[in-house]
Amino acid sequence: MSDREQRAKTVANFWQGVDSHDWDLVASTLADDFVRIGMRDNEEDTCRGKDAYIAFVSGVIGRTRAHELRSRFTFLSDDGRYAFNEAVETITYARGEQPLAMRFANYLELNDDGLISKLDIFWKTPSTMPPDWITVDSIIGDDPAAETA
């Protein structure tokens, strides 16, 4: 498998892992210094470090009643260092609530080792906003133990 093919597989495994809630698979795709810049584009919604990200994303999904992430397509640059992905994430976060579908455009950077070092999320604003508690600070805050979970 060529380096570019391996990088494409890494990106595909990331999305598959998030959708299937396979946190070991997700972790295997991320650099230790991974940075996720969330849809709110502020420091409160920025997650730094692989372990912190796993704690964050698993914490968000653990609070939902239902979660699905469908990767619609991924474009990988010729050198395999940059990827652009479109995904639809559907969550139901409370009993009796209608599912909320959100369309995301995701920009990813891969490091020299072929691991994802950055995820920057852009999204279409749905008619219903996701709950305010879906931020890095709300899920893992400054709890050092959460970063190693």
The CATH number of whichever domain residue 40 belongs to comes to 3.10.450.50
> How confident is the model at residue 48, as a pLDDT?
97
Q: Does 50 reside within a domain?
A: yes
**At residue 28, what are phi and psi to the nearest 5 degrees?**
-70, -15
pLDDT for 13-28, tens place per residue?
Answer: 999 999 999 999 999 9
Total of domains in the chain: 1
- Residue recorded with tokens 């709950």: 131
Print burial letters for 32-46: b (CB count within 10 Å at least 16), e (below 16). Answer: eebbbbbbbeeeebb
Distance separating alpha carbons of residues 52 and 68, to the nearest angstrom: 21
Range(s) of the domain holding residue 39: 3-122
Mean pLDDT of 103-132: 88
Residue 140 lies in a domain: no
Cα of 145 vs its chain's centroid, Å: 21
Mean predicted lDDT score pLDDT of the chain: 89
What pLDDT does residue 134 have?
75
Q: Cα 146 to the chain's mean position, in Å? A: 17
Mean pLDDT along residues 110-134: 84
